[in-house]
Homo-oligomer: A and B are copies of this chain.
Amino acid sequence: MSRKAPDDGGLDAPSPDNPNATVDAFHRGGFCLVQPKKGGHRAGMDALVLAAAVPGDFSGRAVDFGAGAGAVGFAVATRCPNASVLLVERSPEMADYAERSLAHPKNAALASRVSLLVADVARAGRARAAAGLADRSADFVLMNPPFNESRDRATPNPLRRDAHVAGETMFEDWLRSAAAVLRPKGRVALIARPASLAKILSAMEGRFGGAEIVPVHPDAESPAIRIVVRATRGARGDVSLHAPLFLHEQADNRFTPLAEAINAGEASLFMD
Contact = CB atoms under 8 A, between A and B. Distances in A.
Interface string A192-231: 0111111001100100000101010100111110010000
Interface centre among A193, A198, A227 (most CB of B within 10 A): A198
B220 A243 contact: yes
15 contacts: A194-B240, A196-B239, A197-B241, A198-B205, A198-B211, A198-B238, A201-B201, A215-B215, A217-B243, A220-B243, A223-B240, A223-B241, A223-B242, A223-B243, A244-B244
Contacts of A238: 193-196, 198
A223 B221 CA distance: 18
Nearest to A242: B223
Contact of A222 (B211, B213, B221, B243): B243
The 3 A-B residue pairs whose C-beta atoms are closest, nearest first, are A195-B238, A224-B241, A194-B241
B239 A195 contact: yes
Contacts of A224: 240-242
Interface in A170-201: 193-198, 201
A243 B221 contact: yes
A110 to B, nearest CB: 33
Contacts of A193: 238
Nearest to A227: B241
Contacts of A241: 194, 197, 215, 223-224, 227
Number of copies of this chain in the oligomer?
2
Interface residues of A, number: 26
A215 B244 CA distance: 9
A211 B194 CA distance: 11
A193 B241 CA distance: 10
A198 B202 contact: yes
Contact of A195 (B195, B198, B240, B243): B240
Given A194-B241, A201-B201, A202-B202, 11 more contacts: A193-B238, A194-B213, A194-B239, A194-B240, A195-B239, A197-B239, A198-B211, A198-B239, A215-B241, A224-B240, A244-B244
A222 B240 CA distance: 11
Contacts of A202: 198, 201-202
A59 to B, nearest CB: 26
A241 B246 CA distance: 13
A235 to B, nearest CB: 14
Contacts of A220: 243
A119 B136 CA distance: 52
A241 B198 CA distance: 12
Contacts of A244: 215, 244
